[in-house]
Amino acid sequence: MNLAKYIIRRALLVIPVLIGVIAVSFILLRLSIPPDRIILQRLPRRWTMEMYEFEYKQLGFDKPIFIQFLIFVRDLFIGNWGYSYIFIPDSNVKDIIMQRLPRTLELTILSYLISIIIGVKLGLFTGSNRNKKKDKSLRYITYASMAIPPFIFAMFFCQMAAYKDLRLFPFFGYKTLGLGDPPVYTNARIIDCVLSRNWLLLGDYLYHIFIPMTAMVVFQLSIIFRHTRSSMIGVLQEDYIRTAYAKGCNKRRVINHHALKNSLGPSVTMISFAFPKIFAGFVALEVAFQLPGLGDLFYRAISRGDYAVVIPIIFLIAITVLIMNLLADIAYAVIDPRVRLT
């Protein structure tokens, strides 16, 4: 199977998985959040049965549940995400999400790239220096950080930021009070600051997000490091590596020209799995640090039962995760052509 056919086959598998994710989310949310809970939050204190029936029909609850699901899926795929039930009543869900999505993407992509760069480099370094002092010390640190979930990291960094003697960074928010905003080009603050050449606002924004971003980097770094190290150790025990040493190749050449590419295969898969965990971690971090991003929106919408906002967020995250997995499959197929035959 050539690479093009392999990519098409993998891409086609994304559609049923995506529909399955939407179906499970829709069913669970409808079972846990009955229509009465949503309607009663929209009605005034002194409401009548006519008001209740009007809201019931307007929100589409009078239709069979299967029809509601089909309409919801159709609207999601054509980009008509409807209106918020409770969070910002009757406001366009797409507008609400798109205002917050760029800020979360900035934090996610930054922490993701930093985690990959540092994690892969440390994994390759320690894997090629197995059981030496540096390897052991880094392993102990990373294994300890793997055992700590993101919300614990958030609490720890919050306490560190709030402690007077260690208050080097802001405790909450994304900018200093009194500072304005850059001209809006993309709604992504970093990009807008760069495009408008407003370096003061850019520096202030990076200063405010340093703590939450560091918390997420530390959490993801340990996972990437561990798997890259294990992969490198496994590759260095292969026969062709011993053959390269027997031919007189030095250690640096063996690692860079023989072991590196083959050790990156399993790491690519693990790196793709790290991306959705970053999204999950930012729900805790954005709430803890009061950052108005997608994670904070998800938490507030689900706590109020507004699944008109919750499901499109899940839809976006599912698309992102599936695309990352598809890219990982493609990268794996490029690195190791044998997987195209499976």
Query: How far is residue 341's CA from residue 325's CA, in Å, rounded to a whole number?
Result: 18
Query: How far is residue 154's CA from residue 286's CA, in Å, rounded to a whole number?
Result: 9
Q: Quick count: other Cβ atoms within 10 Å of Cβ 310? A: 24
- Domain membership of residue 57 (yes or no) is no
pLDDT at residue 254, rounded to an integer:
76
Whether residue 19 contacts residue 73, with contact meaning beta carbons closer than 8 Å, is answered with yes
- Domain membership of residue 59 (yes or no) is no
Q: Does residue 238 have a pLDDT over 60?
A: yes
* Domain count across the chain: 1
DSSP string, 52-91: HHHHHHHTTTTS-HHHHHHHHHHHHHHT---B-SSSSTT-
Q: Which two tokens stand for residue 258?
A: 């023989």
In this structure, which amino acid lies at residue 273? F
Average pLDDT (204-219) is 80
Whether residue 192 contacts residue 142, with contact meaning beta carbons closer than 8 Å, is answered with no
The pTM (predicted TM-score) of the whole model is 0.77
- When pLDDT is cut at 50, 70 and 90, the band that residue 338 belongs to is low
- When pLDDT is cut at 50, 70 and 90, the band that residue 158 belongs to is low
pLDDT at residue 266, rounded to an integer:
67
- Domain membership of residue 226 (yes or no) is yes
- When pLDDT is cut at 50, 70 and 90, the band that residue 1 belongs to is low
Q: What is the pLDDT of residues 49-83, one digit of tens each?
A: 888 888 888 888 888 888 888 888 888 888 888 88
Mean pLDDT, the chain, rounded, equals: 78
Q: Which of 155-159, 180-184, 197-201, 286-290: highest mean pLDDT?
A: 197-201
- Domain membership of residue 317 (yes or no) is no
Query: Smallest Cα–Cα separation from 276: which of 311, 320, 309?
Result: 320
Half-sphere exposure at residue 174, Cβ-oriented, CA atoms within 13 angstroms: 19
CATH at 172? 1.10.3720.10
Query: How far is residue 285's CA from residue 291's CA, in Å, rounded to a whole number?
Result: 8
Q: What is the pLDDT of residues 180-198, one digit of tens each?
A: 888 888 878 888 888 888 8
- Domain membership of residue 17 (yes or no) is no
pLDDT at residue 162, rounded to an integer:
58
**Residue-number span of the structural domain to which 199 is assigned:** 99-306
Cα 213 to the center of its chain, rounded Å: 12
Whether residue 153 contacts residue 218, with contact meaning beta carbons closer than 8 Å, is answered with yes
Query: How far is residue 213's CA from residue 191's CA, in Å, rounded to a whole number?
Result: 17
- When pLDDT is cut at 50, 70 and 90, the band that residue 171 belongs to is low
Average pLDDT (146-151) is 64
Q: What is the pLDDT of residues 8-49, one digit of tens each?
A: 777 788 888 888 888 888 888 887 888 888 888 788 888 888
Q: Which two tokens stand for residue 139?
A: 């392993």
3-state helix, strand, coil in the chain (%, to 5): 75, 0, 25
Query: Smallest Cα–Cα separation from 97: which of 278, 306, 325, 237?
Result: 306
Percentage of residues of the chain with pLDDT beyond 90: 0
Q: From residue 234, how far is each of 13, 124, 142, 222, 265 by CA, in Å?
A: 31, 11, 19, 18, 12
Q: Does residue 341 have a pLDDT over 60?
A: no
Query: Smallest Cα–Cα separation from 219: which of 324, 320, 141?
Result: 141
Backbone phi and psi for residue 83, each to the nearest 5 degrees, phi listed first: -125, 150
**Sign of the alpha-carbon dihedral angle for 61, 64, 66, 72:** negative
- Domain membership of residue 147 (yes or no) is yes
